[in-house]
Amino acid sequence: MATGKQPAGPVVSGKPLRALVLEDDPADFEILEHHLRAAGFRAECTRVETEAEFMAHLQPDLDVVLSDYKLAGWDAIRALELYRASCLDIPFILVSGTISEEVAVECMKRGAADYLLKDRLGRLGPAINRARNDIAEKRLSESLSSRLLKAHEEERKKVARELHDQVGGAMATLLLGLNDLDSGLPPDGPAQAQLQALKRLAEDNVAIVRNIALLLRPSMLDELGLIPALNWQAREVSRRTGMEVAVEADDACDHLPDEYRTCIYRLVQESLHNAARHAKAAQARVTVREEPGQIRVWIQDDGPGFDTRHQKGMGILGMEERVRHLGGVFHIDSKPGQGALISILLPRGRTDPATDGGS
């Protein structure tokens, strides 16, 4: 391993560019440093050769990883595997001697942002800038869409509260007034029959308003926790559709942070909705498990299943989006005739991008 700190060249930005360079040839490393300087970077390059060195230096404060393809005893494919597993948002650029187009495509498929040939390093600067801009844009769009999801959820909470308190409250007052009238009217007259009809209408409307408020965002999700809210949802879906729903959840999941509670609740809601509506399933099972460092959720139905490659609507895309925001993994396992199993893995301890920076 070698570290090269460059004297300031023609500086593009005030900050140095911290580059981790996977390169087993010191001469090629020097050429690379030269090209970085020529491209206007104040580069701080660290050269590594082995897997262990690579892992030791793969840190979030890096700006770019530049990797040769063929290394002593390993290659960039393995480096990309390790890089992907690290989940770091740093561009990985392949800088290699001649490699076949298939190998280059394979590296891009495995997460490389770009690839350059060693005899065409004039493209190095633009390639680094483009890859870094792409990552900055991705982060911005993730943060914006995370804020949108949050704002949407807050709005639902507000509307649910207003509906419950204002409209539900007004309907309850109306009902009380009708009850008062009841005692002043003769028991068998036509006015009494009309009053009873009005009372039934008011009672139905109280129930409808409360139910809409609950469907928008059940207050028990915030007040009692995830499991009572999931159980309520299961009962509600069974009542409306006839599909039997079983919920099995670890007690520890009850007091997850709001972003996890909301995410799991909405995933279960959409999955059960799909199972009842599209699959007409007779039974569905929801399982929520807390494991060290992660939460797993499964939603399984016994419907006819579907071809997951071709059928993706807003519902499934929305679920994928919610899971991605928490840095998790979303997977649907279904084939025609075999029911559907939705599996979700959510890592714990990730900062919500929407709350980064204290906003």
Ligand X SMILES: Nc1ncnc2c1ncn2[C@@H]1O[C@H](COP(=O)(O)OP(=O)(O)OP(=O)(O)O)[C@@H](O)[C@H]1O
Catalog residues that contact ligand X under the rule CB under 6 A: 274-275, 278-279, 301, 303, 305-306, 311-316, 340
Q: Based on CB atoms, which residue is closest to Mg ion, 46 or 274? A: 274
Q: Based on CB atoms, which residue is closest to ligand X, 5 or 312? A: 312
Q: Contact 88/111 with Cβ under 8 angstroms?
A: no
Token pair 């025609």 in the structure block, residue: 336
Beta carbon of residue 312, minimum distance to ligand X (angstroms, whole number): 5
Which of ligand X, Mg ion, none sits in contact with 218, Cβ below 5 to 8 A by type?
none
Beta carbon of residue 178, minimum distance to Mg ion (angstroms, whole number): 40
Q: Based on CB atoms, which residue is closest to Mg ion, 259 or 270? A: 270
Q: Which residues contact 260 (CB under 8 A, 6 or more apart)?
A: 295, 326, 346, 348
Residue 297 is given by DSSP the state E
Chain-centroid distance of CA 112 in Å reads: 22
Least Cα distance to 11 among 44, 43, 33, 45 occurs for 43
Distances (CA, A) of 153 to 30, 174, 217, 257: 53, 30, 8, 14
Which of Mg ion, ligand X, none sits in contact with 311, Cβ below 5 to 8 A by type?
ligand X
Q: Based on CB atoms, which residue is closest to ligand X, 156 or 210? A: 156
Which of Mg ion, ligand X, none sits in contact with 27, Cβ below 5 to 8 A by type?
none
Which of Mg ion, ligand X, none sits in contact with 13, Cβ below 5 to 8 A by type?
none
Burial label, 249 (beta-carbon count in 10 A; 0-12, 13-18, 19+): buried
Which of Mg ion, ligand X, none sits in contact with 303, Cβ below 5 to 8 A by type?
ligand X
Beta carbon of residue 311, minimum distance to ligand X (angstroms, whole number): 4
| Nearest-CB residue for Mg ion | 315
Q: Based on CB atoms, which residue is closest to ligand X, 96 or 334? A: 334
Beta carbon of residue 143, minimum distance to ligand X (angstroms, whole number): 24
Q: Based on CB atoms, which residue is closest to ligand X, 233 or 274? A: 274
Which of Mg ion, ligand X, none sits in contact with 314, Cβ below 5 to 8 A by type?
ligand X
Question: Quick one: CA dihedral 222, 225, 230, 236, positive or negative?
Answer: negative
Beta carbon of residue 296, minimum distance to ligand X (angstroms, whole number): 19
Residue type for position 123: R
d(CA 170, CA 150): 29
Beta carbon of residue 315, minimum distance to Mg ion (angstroms, whole number): 3
Q: Based on CB atoms, which residue is closest to Mg ion, 127 or 149? A: 149
Which residues here bind Mg ion, judged by CB under 5 A?
A: 274, 315
d(CA 198, CA 95): 78
| Nearest-CB residue for ligand X | 315
Q: Which residues contact 47 (CB under 8 A, 6 or more apart)?
A: 1, 2, 3, 4, 21, 23, 26, 29
d(CA 202, CA 131): 61
Beta carbon of residue 225, minimum distance to Mg ion (angstroms, whole number): 26
